[in-house]
């Protein structure tokens, strides 16, 4: 909302920011979205960049997954700590905006025109809430970003009970690491072994995360100790030099998943864990929350500026609720593939080591861990009149797809990418870019010219000419921003 210049207030129950490093990976799609609101680079400055994932089965290296050819200009996954990420985001709010801490939302009353929110105070020595002094505030829209326990979703009848997957649990520690493998913070390691699944991944400030997903029968139902974690790592990984020191965070948990019945009720919206509980497969929980928040932010900004019809805001819930339902299914599949492996299947996989198609899918339930293929084909905002009619367009970009990125040049010869031009390069924080491709056909220019003229009255549609043919001076589109795609890269990726 800060990025879009909308006035807002954020109430946080806790008086102090969290120091838990919980969500630590920022995948490519998240980085693109965070860049669209101008905060990605500040987060990258406090992150390690990783492009390599090693998968090891029963101590035998199986495969190396590389993110460098993902189709995003953010080819590295960034690793930080959720506490660091939250601080960076809070610092980016800008003058006059801040997270108001020690302010629990106690109740809400929504009507057709707005929402009344009761906000209490937490006293200095703890979590004691004062309802007597609660402030009643009226707003036009309310966003419940209040996490897994979700006061807001309960108040509007969107509560859900996550399903617990019995018989297994996860324990983890974030600490300094010494072992025989690299400690350059640019790689991840996943270990499959007969009794479970383990991982070693960068966090931030010299810290690595070690986790084990295993049957809960042999796992104490409490946070682990450092000695327990190191001893188990030595057994599983087979490296007697494996040592961890200076732990910053321990965690133990059961596996739960679920999605709220909807993401909107009247003028109240849910984002992040308030709307979903995700399994830890592929590290998607916090990332999905970024997606929710950015997707709701521009819609609210356009709506509050009276710059769109109701369908724009109405499209948030079906888009993001649908995405979470699909993500939940993918993660559940990945969970069962990981945790219900048979020794026979593991042995078969080992014999074809290096030749396993879709290994990421087999391990994580889906190969698109960066969420770059996430599309909103069924969104109320997506209308596609071509794809189904013309089978030759198979594989082409469809309405609702993420626009593929591509390298191009400006008229003055500077190198840019299509995404840099889509995400608000002209200082406007919302609206649509109309990409007008000439299709390598100089004869198409008259049609493009007519199309651009047809949207001239809509200030929120900004045309961008993408020309594979050099530009003649007199085609009636001189005033339109123009990029050259003389090598056809953008034409090919968006064909
Ligand atoms: C052990 C662990 C590891 C994880 N690892 C990853 C990972 O690697 N990658 C990943 O993407 N995700 C990961 N996650 C998930 C990620 O941490 C969550 O998805 C993320 O925290 C959700 O953010 P949120 O802001 O929606 O909710 P939360 O982080 O829960 O924040 C909600 C906030 O709302 C406040 N609040 C609650 N009720 C009220 C109220 N009534 N009034 C005012 N404030 C209120 C809370 O105090 C809290 O600060 C992990 C989670 C855990 C537990």
Distance 12 CA to ligand 1 centre (A): 12
Q: Residue 184 falls within a domain, yes or no? A: no
Query: Residue 489: helix, strand or coil by DSSP?
Result: helix
More confident residue, 28 or 124: 28
Indicate whether 60 pLDDT > 80: yes
Q: Residue 395 falls within a domain, yes or no? A: no
Mean pLDDT of all residues in the chain? 91
List the residue whose alpha carbon is closest to atom 53 of ligand 1. 22
Q: What pLDDT does 356 receive? A: 60
Instruction: Give per-residue pLDDT as tens, 340-393.
Output: 887 777 777 777 655 566 667 767 777 788 999 999 999 999 998 877 777 666
CB 465 within 8 A of CB 486: no
Q: Is 13 in the pocket of ligand 1 (CB under 6 A)?
A: yes
Instruction: Give per-residue pLDDT as tens, 255-274.
Output: 999 999 999 999 999 999 99
CA angle centred on 486, ends 481 and 489, rounded to 5°: 95
Q: Is 144 in the pocket of ligand 1 (CB under 6 A)?
A: no
Q: Do 292 and 432 reside in the same domain of the chain? A: no
The Cα–Cα gap between 276 and 260 comes to 6
Q: Is 146 in the pocket of ligand 1 (CB under 6 A)?
A: yes
Q: Do 410 and 287 reside in the same domain of the chain? A: no
Q: What pLDDT does 173 receive? A: 98
Q: Do 488 and 418 reside in the same domain of the chain? A: yes
CA angle centred on 350, ends 347 and 353, rounded to 5°: 160
Q: Is 417 in the pocket of ligand 1 (CB under 6 A)?
A: no
Confidence of residue 240 (pLDDT cuts 50, 70, 90): very high
Which helix (H) or strand (E) segment is 235 a member of? helix 226-237
Q: Residue 175 falls within a domain, yes or no? A: no
| Chain centroid to CA 7 | 24
The mean pLDDT value for 321-347 works out to 88
Residue recorded with tokens 């993918």? 330
Residue recorded with tokens 């019995």? 166
The mean pLDDT value for 79-88 works out to 97
Q: What pLDDT does 27 receive? A: 96
Q: What pLDDT does 55 receive? A: 93
Lowest mean pLDDT among 178-182, 252-256, 476-480: 476-480
Residues 6+ apart with CB under 8 A from 240: 234
Q: Is 286 in the pocket of ligand 1 (CB under 6 A)?
A: yes
DSSP 197: E
The mean pLDDT value for 291-296 works out to 98
List the residue whose alpha carbon is closest to atom 3 of ligand 1. 22
The Cα–Cα gap between 159 and 260 comes to 6
Which helix (H) or strand (E) segment is 318 a member of? helix 316-339
Q: Is 82 in the pocket of ligand 1 (CB under 6 A)?
A: yes
Q: What pLDDT does 382 receive? A: 94
CA angle centred on 453, ends 449 and 456, rounded to 5°: 140
361: nearest Cα among 339, 345, 337, 343? 337
Residue recorded with tokens 């996550």? 162
CB 196 within 8 A of CB 217: no
**What φ, ψ does residue 446 adopt, rounded to 5°?**
-65, -40
More confident residue, 65 or 211: 211
Q: What pLDDT does 450 receive? A: 92
C-beta neighbour count of 282 within 10 angstroms = 24
Q: Is 297 in the pocket of ligand 1 (CB under 6 A)?
A: no
Q: What pLDDT does 386 receive? A: 78
Q: Is 24 in the pocket of ligand 1 (CB under 6 A)?
A: yes
Instruction: Give per-residue pLDDT as tens, 184-194.
Output: 999 999 999 99
Instruction: Give per-residue pLDDT as tens, 390-427.
Output: 766 667 788 999 999 999 999 889 999 999 888 877 77
Q: Residue 209 falls within a domain, yes or no? A: no
Q: Residue 47 falls within a domain, yes or no? A: yes
The Cα–Cα gap between 265 and 66 comes to 41
Distance 364 CA to ligand 1 centre (A): 22
CB 422 within 8 A of CB 403: yes
More confident residue, 113 or 389: 113
181: nearest Cα among 66, 76, 64, 78? 64
Q: Hey, what are 366's tokens?
A: 């889906």
Q: Is 320 in the pocket of ligand 1 (CB under 6 A)?
A: no
Q: Choose one of 314, 343, 364: the last residue of a domain.
A: 364
Q: Residue 208 falls within a domain, yes or no? A: no
Q: Do 311 and 429 reside in the same domain of the chain? A: no
Residue recorded with tokens 């950015």? 294
Q: Choose one of 364, 389, 411: the last residue of a domain.
A: 364
Which of the listed residues 14, 18, 53, 82 should we mutate to test ligand 1's pocket, taking the one with most ligand atoms within 8 A of CB? 82
CATH number, domain containing residue 433: 3.40.30.10
Indicate the burial class of 228 (C-beta count within 10 angstroms; 0-12, 13-18, 19 or more): middle
370: nearest Cα among 114, 50, 152? 50
Q: Hey, what are 446's tokens?
A: 């008259």
Q: What pLDDT does 130 receive? A: 63
Distance 148 CA to ligand 1 centre (A): 7
Q: Do 355 and 416 reside in the same domain of the chain? A: no
Q: What pLDDT does 367 receive? A: 78
Confidence of residue 471 (pLDDT cuts 50, 70, 90): low
Q: Is 81 in the pocket of ligand 1 (CB under 6 A)?
A: no
Confidence of residue 492 (pLDDT cuts 50, 70, 90): confident
CB 106 within 8 A of CB 119: yes
Which helix (H) or strand (E) segment is 360 a member of? helix 359-364
437: nearest Cα among 464, 410, 417? 464
Q: Hey, what are 454's tokens?
A: 């047809």
Q: Residue 253 falls within a domain, yes or no? A: no
Query: Residue 273: helix, strand or coil by DSSP?
Result: helix
Q: Is 12 in the pocket of ligand 1 (CB under 6 A)?
A: yes
Give residue 40's domain range: 10-162+258-364
Q: List C-alpha distances in Å: 56 to 192, 195, 356, 362.
A: 6, 14, 13, 13
Helix (H), strand (E) counts: the chain: 13, 24
Q: Do 158 and 268 reside in the same domain of the chain? A: yes
Q: Residue 394 falls within a domain, yes or no? A: no
The Cα–Cα gap between 364 and 331 comes to 7
Q: Do 337 and 442 reside in the same domain of the chain? A: no
Q: Do 129 and 276 reside in the same domain of the chain? A: yes
The Cα–Cα gap between 491 and 495 comes to 5
Q: What pLDDT does 291 receive? A: 97
More confident residue, 480 or 130: 480
CA angle centred on 202, ends 245 and 350, rounded to 5°: 105
Atom index in ligand 1 nearest the CA of residue 201 equals 8
Q: Do 283 and 143 reside in the same domain of the chain? A: yes
CB 230 within 8 A of CB 243: yes
Which helix (H) or strand (E) segment is 213 a member of? strand 208-215
Q: Do 278 and 426 reside in the same domain of the chain? A: no
Q: Do 26 and 151 reside in the same domain of the chain? A: yes
Q: Choose one of 344, 364, 384: the last residue of a domain.
A: 364
Q: What is the pTM of this model?
A: 0.94
The mean pLDDT value for 275-284 works out to 94
Lowest mean pLDDT among 314-323, 354-363, 442-451, 474-483: 354-363
| Chain centroid to CA 49 | 16
Which of the listed residues 14, 17, 146, 173 should we mutate to test ligand 1's pocket, taking the one with most ligand atoms within 8 A of CB? 146
Residue recorded with tokens 């609210």? 300
DSSP 140: S
Atom index in ligand 1 nearest the CA of residue 150 equals 38
Q: What pLDDT does 127 receive? A: 57
Lowest mean pLDDT among 3-17, 46-60, 160-174, 344-358: 344-358
Domain count, the chain: 2
Q: Do 101 and 15 reside in the same domain of the chain? A: yes
CATH number, domain containing residue 69: 3.50.50.60
In order, the DSSP letters of 49-85 are EE-EEEEEETTEEEEEEE-TTSSSS--SEEE--HHHH
């Amino acid at each position: 909302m800060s990025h879009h210049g909308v006035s807002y207030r954020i109430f946080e129950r806790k008086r102090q920011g969290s120091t838990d490093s919980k969500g630590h990976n920022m995948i490519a799609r998240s980085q693109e979205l965070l860049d669209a609101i101008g905060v990605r680079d500040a987060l990258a400055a406090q992150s390690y960049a990783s492009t390599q994932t090693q998968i090891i089965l029963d101590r035998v290296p199986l495969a190396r997954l590389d993110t460098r050819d993902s189709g995003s200009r953010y080819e590295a996954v960034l690793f930080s700590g959720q506490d660091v990420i939250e601080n960076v985001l809070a610092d980016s709010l800008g003058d006059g905006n801040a997270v108001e801490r020690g302010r629990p939302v106690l109740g809400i009353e929504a009507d057709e025109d707005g929402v009344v929110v009761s906000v209490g105070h937490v006293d200095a020595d703890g979590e004691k809430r004062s309802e007597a002094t609660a402030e009643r505030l009226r707003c036009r829209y309310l966003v419940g970003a209040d996490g897994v326990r979700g006061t807001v979703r309960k108040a509007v009848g969107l509560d859900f009970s996550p399903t617990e997957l019995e018989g297994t649990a996860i324990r983890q520690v974030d600490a300094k690491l010494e072992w025989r493998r690299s400690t350059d913070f640019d790689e991840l390691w996943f270990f499959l072994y007969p009794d479970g699944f383990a991982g070693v991944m960068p966090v931030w400030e010299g810290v690595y995360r070690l986790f084990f997903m295993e049957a809960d029968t042999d796992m104490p139902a409490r946070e682990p100790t450092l000695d327990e974690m190191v001893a188990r790592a030595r057994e599983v990984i087979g490296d007697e030099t494996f040592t961890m020191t200076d732990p910053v965070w321990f965690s133990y948990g059961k596996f739960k998943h679920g999605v709220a019945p909807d993401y909107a009720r009247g003028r109240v919206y849910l984002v992040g864990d308030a709307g979903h509980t995700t399994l830890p497969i592929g590290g998607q929980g916090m990332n999905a929350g970024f997606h929710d928040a950015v997707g709701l932010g521009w819609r609210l900004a356009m709506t509050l500026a009276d710059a769109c019809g109701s369908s724009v805001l109405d499209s948030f819930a079906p888009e993001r609720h649908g995405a979470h339902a699909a993500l939940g299914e993918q993660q559940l599949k990945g969970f069962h593939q990981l945790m219900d492996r048979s020794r026979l299947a593991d042995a078969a996989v080992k014999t074809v080591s290096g030749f396993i198609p879709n290994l990421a899918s087999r391990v994580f339930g889906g190969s698109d861990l960066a969420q770059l293929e996430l599309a909103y084909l069924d969104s109320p905002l997506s209308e596609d009149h071509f794809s189904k009619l013309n089978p030759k367009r198979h594989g082409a970009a469809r309405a609702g797809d993420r626009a593929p990125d591509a390298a191009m040049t400006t008229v003055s010869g500077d190198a840019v990418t299509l995404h840099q031009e889509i995400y608000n390069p002209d200082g406007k924080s919302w609206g649509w870019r109309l990409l007008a491709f000439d299709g390598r056909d100089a004869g198409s220019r008259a049609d493009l010219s007519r199309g651009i003229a047809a949207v001239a009255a809509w200030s929120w549609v900004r045309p961008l000419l993408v020309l594979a043919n050099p530009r003649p001076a007199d085609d009636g589109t001189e005033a339109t921003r123009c990029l050259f795609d003389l090598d056809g890269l953008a034409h090919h990726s968006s064909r």
